[in-house]
Amino acid sequence: MGGLTKEMWTPGIARAARRIATAAAVGGGGATALGVAVYGLVQVEAVIARRSIGRRYGMNGPRADGLYGAWHDPRDPADPGAEASRPLRLAMLGDSTAVGLGMRDPATTPGVVIARGLAEVAGRPVRLGVHGRSGSVSADLVWQVDRALRTEPDIAVIFIGANDVTTKTKPAHAVRHLRDAVRRLREAGAEVVVGTCPDLGTVRPIGQPLRWMTRMWSRQLAAAQTVAVVEAGGRTVAFADLLGPEFASYPGEMFGPDRFHPSARGYERAAHAVLPSVCAALGLRAEPRPERGEGSQPIYLAAAIAAEEPGTEVTAARVAGRATGPYGRWATLLRRRPGPMPHGA
């Protein structure tokens, strides 16, 4: 981080998250994430990457909608056990990372990895509907949610944020659209898990000093996303530099052909990062006892810490029966272990 320690970095992220989230709540726009001076340079890198992979595979991931997991014979609808035998409905929303851009085999896309893992834990099939689209920004969640709600999902997973950083989207506008999307899904009865904006500082085509700057901006947006999602009733999982160390050591394995999007292995890591939270949101996994450094935190601090630590989940909490404290809403910080879980875990 250019010499900055986590202790120096986190308070700044927390302040930025508060500023962006407040602007989103009151209708302000906030400055463009990258600023006019450097926005164009980063956008060019992103456009070149999209065109590179688009020439090979098109601009959409492979069609992955379908039923996954072992099928159980449906029971009589009048049977109290019928609800437990029907497929769970999973909706995948967001940008190119949500659809698995660059993959040719549906099995390697995040939605299918999550659906199969969820089916294994739940002991019932999962019907997956992919509503995301490559190139989407948070404003595109409006029509994606429209489509998803027609399927009455039990849970929605959203991967969004990178394109908001690499375009002229004002952070508060992006956060407001994400908050509204989560709120609509929750009001319809769906649980929501959001994979927040990844650390674009791990993207190889972006050189220094832009890499350092995009790292800062993407983490600020991720923290503000966390605040908005938790306040709207969802939970977040920080991608941060989830793939950063492995990208640096094994770029040929973790990056796709454009050196911008993940490879199959990279997508699998992202899916496994959110799978424990998906299972917990549906009540399929007991909430672990918080360890040292985890547990209840003021929302802005929890969001800032999560933005630094990949795989960290943030969800709403109550302390002494109260949802808010002297520093705002309470949130629970959990460092869940990424990876598939055995049945009944």
CA-to-CA separations, 79 to 85, 152, 287, in angstroms, rounded: 10, 21, 30
User: How far is the C-alpha of 317 from the C-alpha of 334, rounded, in Å?
Assistant: 12
Domain count, the chain: 1
User: Is residue 344 one of the residues assigned to a domain?
Assistant: no
Cβ pair 344, 121 in contact under 8 A: yes
User: Is residue 207 one of the residues assigned to a domain?
Assistant: yes
User: Is residue 340 one of the residues assigned to a domain?
Assistant: no
Spatial neighbors of 137 by CB under 8 A, at least 6 apart, are 95, 160, 163, 164, 167, 169, 174, 177
Spatial neighbors of 310 by CB under 8 A, at least 6 apart, are 238, 239, 240, 241, 242, 244, 273
User: Is residue 343 one of the residues assigned to a domain?
Assistant: no
Question: Tens of pLDDT along 86-135?
Answer: 899 999 999 988 999 888 899 999 999 999 999 999 999 999 999 999 88
Which domain, by its residues, includes 29? 6-72+81-335
Q: Give yes or no: 272 in active site.
A: no
Question: Tens of pLDDT along 306-318?
Answer: 888 888 999 998 8
Per-residue tokens: 178 = 């994400």
Catalytic residue among 96, 134, 138, 277: 96
CATH number for the domain harbouring residue 164: 3.40.50.1110
Catalytic residue among 258, 263, 272, 277: 258
User: Is residue 1 one of the residues assigned to a domain?
Assistant: no
Per-residue tokens: 295 = 């547990």
Cβ pair 78, 138 in contact under 8 A: no
Q: Give yes or no: 96 in active site.
A: yes
Spatial neighbors of 110 by CB under 8 A, at least 6 apart, are 92, 97, 98, 100, 157, 159, 267, 268, 270, 271
Catalytic residue among 131, 173, 177, 261: 261
- Helix, strand, coil shares of the chain, percent, nearest 5, are 50, 15, 35
Q: Give yes or no: 261 in active site.
A: yes
User: Is residue 89 one of the residues assigned to a domain?
Assistant: yes
Residue pLDDT tens, the chain, 345 long = 444 445 545 777 888 788 887 787 766 655 555 454 455 555 555 555 555 545 555 667 789 999 999 665 555 455 555 556 789 999 999 998 899 988 889 999 999 999 999 999 999 999 999 999 988 999 999 999 999 999 999 999 999 998 888 777 888 999 999 999 999 999 999 999 999 988 776 655 555 555 566 777 888 899 999 999 999 999 999 987 765 555 555 454 434 444 556 777 888 988 999 999 999 999 997 666 666 556 788 999 999 888 888 889 999 988 888 988 887 889 998 887 655 544 444
Question: Cis bond leading into 209, ω under 30°?
Answer: yes
User: Is residue 342 one of the residues assigned to a domain?
Assistant: no
User: Is residue 341 one of the residues assigned to a domain?
Assistant: no
